[in-house]
Amino acid sequence: MRPREWDRWLAVLSPVGLLLVWELLSRTGVLDGRFVPPPSVIGQTLASLTRTGELPYHVGVSVERILAGFVLGAVPAVALGLAMGLNRSVRAAVMPLVTALYPIPKIAVYPLIIFYLGIGEASKVGIVALSIFFLVLLNTMAGVLGLDRAYVNIARAYGARPIDVFTTIAWPGALPSIFTGLKLGMGFALIVIVGAELLGSDAGIGFLIWRAYQIFAIDVMFAGLLITALLGWLATAGLDWLERWALPWRA
């Protein structure tokens, strides 16, 4: 077996092994099955929640909020990040604000967001947008600043106007960094949306987990966590695929 193939097997074997150990400990009574249900029970819970349509509904709600928040946060972040990377004055004007606002835990802003946007969808989408905005902004700017000055010179030597430099140099050149920002942002979006749904919501994965806590349905709480992990994994794989597709020029 070649080393790379072995790595791929290991990547599958280690989580499967962990589940097996967990199942065994739970069944033999080392772990109390009432508090730590074995994976097989969690699997059954997942299956029945899927059959009743409850799980797909809550997952759908969360995914919709994340996607909407992603678009709403990433698009202006990329535009402003490119401008900050290209223009010293824009950078000087915006950077102090960003440095001050970036470290605020976004979940701490959530009450204020609810106050302004209401308890409905807008506040959920808003907090996702806010939480990824700074990550994408800073990574986009860093991507432009890291570009070899030679690329801009090539453009200018052939008569590029500022808008041409924006679209043909800064945007494609910063795209690898933009993807780094999006991937980091995806992790934050999941953290923040589940957190927000725990606090004040009547749908979504976070709500599912919170309600399960209130009715002492520990298997459902584990099912919600498992689904969140799966979503994170899928989102990362999706972004990786999108990155390979969008950046065929990377070595």
Partner 1 sequence: MITEVSPQLASIEVRGLSKSYPSRRGVLRVLQDVTFAVRPGEFCALIGPSGCGKTTLLHILAGLTTPTSGAVQIPPHDRGRLATALIFQGVSTLPWMTALENVAYGLRLMGVPAPDRRARARYHLARVGLSAFADAFPHQLSEGMRQRVSIARALATDPAILLMDEPFASLDEQNRLLMQDELLRIWQEDRKTVVFVTHSLDEAMRLADRVLVMSAIPSRIKSEVAIPFGRPRDFRIIRQDPAYGALSARLWDELREEVVHSIQP
Among 100, 150, 215, 216, binds partner 1 (CB under 8 A): 150
Q: Is residue 26 classed as helix, strand or coil in its secondary structure? A: helix
Of these, 23, 121, 164, 243, which contacts partner 1 (CB under 8 A)? 164
Q: Which of 36, 39, 107, 156 binds partner 1 (CB under 8 A)?
A: 156
The answer to the question of residue 216 lying near partner 1 (CB under 8 A) is no
167 binds partner 1 (CB under 8 A): no
d(C-alpha 190, C-alpha 183), whole Å:
11
**Cβ-defined contacts of 206-209 (< 8 Å, 24+):** 206/62, 207/58, 208/54, 208/55, 208/58
Kindly indicate which of the ranges 7-15, 131-139, 168-176, 195-203 contains the residues binding partner 1, using the contact rule CB under 8 A: 168-176
Q: Does 153 bind partner 1 (CB under 8 A)?
A: yes
If the CB atoms of residues 173 and 181 are measured against partner 1, the closer one turns out to be: 173
Give me the residue label for tokens 């074995």: 38
- 243 counts as binding partner 1 under rule CB under 8 A: no
Q: Is residue 29 part of the contact set for partner 1 (CB under 8 A)?
A: no
Largest CA distance in the chain: 75
Our CB check for partner 1 shows the closer of 121 and 164 to be 164
In single-letter form, the type of residue at position 12 comes to V
Among 80, 130, 169, 194, binds partner 1 (CB under 8 A): 169
- Binder of partner 1 out of 90, 168, 187, 213 (CB under 8 A): 168
Which is nearer to partner 1, 64 or 243 (by Cβ)?
A: 243
d(CA 5, CA 11): 10
Residue 101 in tokens:
């606002």
How far is residue 165's CA from residue 50's CA, in Å, rounded to a whole number? 50
Compute the residue count for the chain.
251
Whole-angstrom distance between the N-terminal and C-terminal Cα of the chain? 27
158 binds partner 1 (CB under 8 A): yes
Does residue number 10 form part of the binding site for partner 1 (CB under 8 A)?
Answer: no
Task: Please state, in angstroms and rounded to a whole number, the distance separating the CA atoms of residues 23 and 11.
Answer: 19
- The reply to whether 121 sits near partner 1 by the rule CB under 8 A is no
CB of 102 within 8 A of CB of 43?
A: no
Applying CB under 8 A, which part among 64-72, 99-107, 119-127, 242-250 lies near partner 1? Answer: 242-250
The residue ranges that bind partner 1 (CB under 8 A) are 148, 150-151, 153-160, 164, 168-169, 172-173, 175, 247-251
